[in-house]
Chains A and B, each alone.
Chain A
C-alpha cells in the first residue's frame, strides 16, 4: 500500500473512474464519497480538510488504494498498472459468463445484504432469455417496492444491458 503522506497527490485509476460512472463494483457510500473527492490534483492534506464529514477518511483512502480504485498520481505507469490489474482480477471474463450469472452478480453488487430475495427470484426464474427477462422485471418491482427505488432503476438499466449483450 502507498505511504499516505499529507503531500501525496492521489488520482482515480480507470477502475475508479468506471466505478463512479457505472457503479459496477458496488462500493459502499463511505468509499464512494471518498473516491469522488479524489481528483488527481489535491494533496492528501487538502482532501482531509474537504472530507471532514467522512469518518476514518485516511483508512478509507487506503482501502481504495488497496482495491485499485485510487493510486498515487505521480507514478503514471503504476497508475496504469493499477487500472488494468484490478479490473481483470475483480471481473474475470464477465462477458463470458451466462447472462443469468451476470444479472445475479449485478444484484449482489448493487443490493449487498438485501440481495437475498432478488437472487433467489433470479435463480428460480430460469436461464432462458424470455424467463430471465421476466425475472428481471419481477425483481425490478421487488427492489422498487421493498428495497430502494433508485437502485431498482439502476438494476433494470444494467440488467437490460446484460440481456441485450447476451
Chain B
C-alpha cells in the first residue's frame, strides 16, 4: 500500500500546531501584561489562525486551486509575521534583562 507522505506530514503539522495552541493558551495566564503579555496576545491569535488553516489542509484536494493558493499564501504571510513578532519579542526580553 503506498504511503501518502504529504498527508502524514500534514497530520503531524496539525498535531504540533494543536500542542502550540494549548501551550500559548496555558501560558497566557502567567503573562497577563507587560512587554511579553502584550505580544503574547498577538501570538495567541496567530496560532489560532494557523490551527484553523492547518485543519483545512487535508481538504485542499477538494478546494478550487485559487482558494488553495490564497490559503497557502496567507499562511506564508502570517507565518512571516509570527516569526517577526517572536524575534522582536526575544530581542526586547534580552534588552530588558540586560538593561
Interface residues of chain A, those whose CB is within 8 Å of chain B, are 114, 141, 143-149, 152
Contact = CB atoms under 8 A, between A and B. Distances in A.
Contacts, number: 33
Interface stretch (B14-22, B33-41, B69-77, B79-87): B33-41
Contacts of B12: none
Nearest to B89: A145
19 contacts: A114-B32, A144-B34, A144-B35, A145-B31, A145-B93, A145-B96, A146-B30, A146-B31, A146-B32, A146-B33, A146-B34, A147-B32, A147-B33, A147-B34, A148-B32, A148-B33, A148-B34, A149-B33, A149-B35
Nearest to B31: A146
B37 A146 contact: yes
Nearest to A111: B32
Interface residues of B, number: 12
B97 interface: yes
Contacts of B30: 146
A147 B30 CA distance: 9
Nearest to B35: A145
A141 B97 contact: yes
